[in-house]
Every structure is written in structure tokens, then in C-alpha cells.
Amino acid sequence: MSTNAKVRVATVWLSGCSGCHMSFLDQDERLVDLAKKITLVYSPLVDVKEFPENVDVTLIEGAVANEEQLAMLKKVRGRTKILVSLGDCAVTGNVTALRNSWRHSDQAVLERAYKDPADLNAAVPTAVPKLLIKARPLHEIVKVDFYIPGCPPHADLINYVLTELLAGRAPVMEGRSKYG
């Protein structure tokens, strides 16, 4: 099989703990089979700086919490055929979005992180991307095609969804996925 015929897959890490990517790796030896069918064209696991065009499947971990991630998500959506929300942060907002129930959480969360614990020169850094008022799951911003809930999602489930997608079938989630 030539590399050209391989399915172009990407993974993206937004506001998540990277646990979903760990679970992706937990597919273990099944990754070997997968590697025969896919090319990983962009991922925290490979060293590509710019998200490429014409991606077949992109798995995104994490909620959208700041403007940089918002722009990234829109770019990815524009360049991907099938977009998959990977893990609870991407699917529900999860822990990343717990701040949403505070008022003015974009400010409050920065102060809590940078000011409250500091003994000297307490200040919110200005170089970090501006936080959105709410952290959001992906599908509240762009169209998402499939969802893999779980915190983290089980490696078997990730493998099941990828296998189905590669076979051109829509995964059936009844009785398979679990939040948390």
C-alpha cells in the first residue's frame, strides 16, 4: 500500500490534561495495525508546526477555553473531513468548564491561578491568550461528526471508533461510551 492511499489522521490537544492522548497511546499493539492504515499528519505526538490541509479524520482532545484555541478549532474544522471530539473535555467541557459556574470566570480563574497563590509580585500575565467567557465543548462552536466521551475515553473505545471510521461505517455508541 502506498503512503498516498493512507488515511490522513490528525490529533489536536486543546484545554485538556493530555489523558485522552495517553489513552490513544494505550491502544498499544493495535497502534501497529493502525499505523499501516493511517498517516499521522499532525499531533502533539509528531513534530509538525502547522495544521495541514486535507485531513481525513481529526481527533480533538480538550475544551475550547481561549481565543487561540477557538481560532485553532475553526482552522481544523475547515481542513478536516471528519471531526471527532475525543474525551469529556471536548464533549462536555468537563473539568475545564467547571469554572463556568463562577461569575466572570475568565478573570476569576486567572486571578485564582496567578494572584492568589503568589507571595511576591502577584499579577496576571499578559502574554497568555485571552480566555473565553466560558470554556466550551467543541460542538457548541463547530460541527462535530462523532463523539468519544470518557475521562479519559477507554483505549478500546477509541480503537473501536477509529476502526469503524476507517471501514467507512458510523460507530454505534449505545452501551459503549461512558462519561467520566
Q: Cβ closer to another protein: 51 or 146?
A: 146
x-or-dash string of contact with another protein, 71-100, rule CB under 8 A: --------------x--x--xxxxx-xx-x
Q: Which of these segments, 39-47, 53-61, 115-123, 171-179, binds another protein (CB under 8 A)?
A: 171-179
Q: Cβ closer to another protein: 166 or 173?
A: 173
Residues 6 or more apart whose CB falls under 8 angstroms from that of 50 comprise none
Q: Could you write out the DSSP letters of every residue in 52-76?
A: PSSEEEEEEESBEEEHHHHHHHHHH
Cα–Cα distance measured from residue 139 to residue 144, given in angstroms and rounded to the nearest whole number = 5
Q: Cβ closer to another protein: 10 or 73?
A: 73
Beta strands in the chain, from DSSP E residues, in sequence order: 7-13, 38-42, 55-61, 64-66, 80-86, 131-136, 146-148
Q: Cβ closer to another protein: 71 or 118?
A: 71
Residue 101 C-beta: closest distance to another protein, Å: 4
- Structural element, H or E, at residue 163: helix 155-166
Report whether 38 contacts 30 (CB < 8 A).
no
65 binds another protein per the rule CB under 8 A? no
How many residues lie near another protein (CB under 8 A)?
36
62 binds another protein per the rule CB under 8 A? no
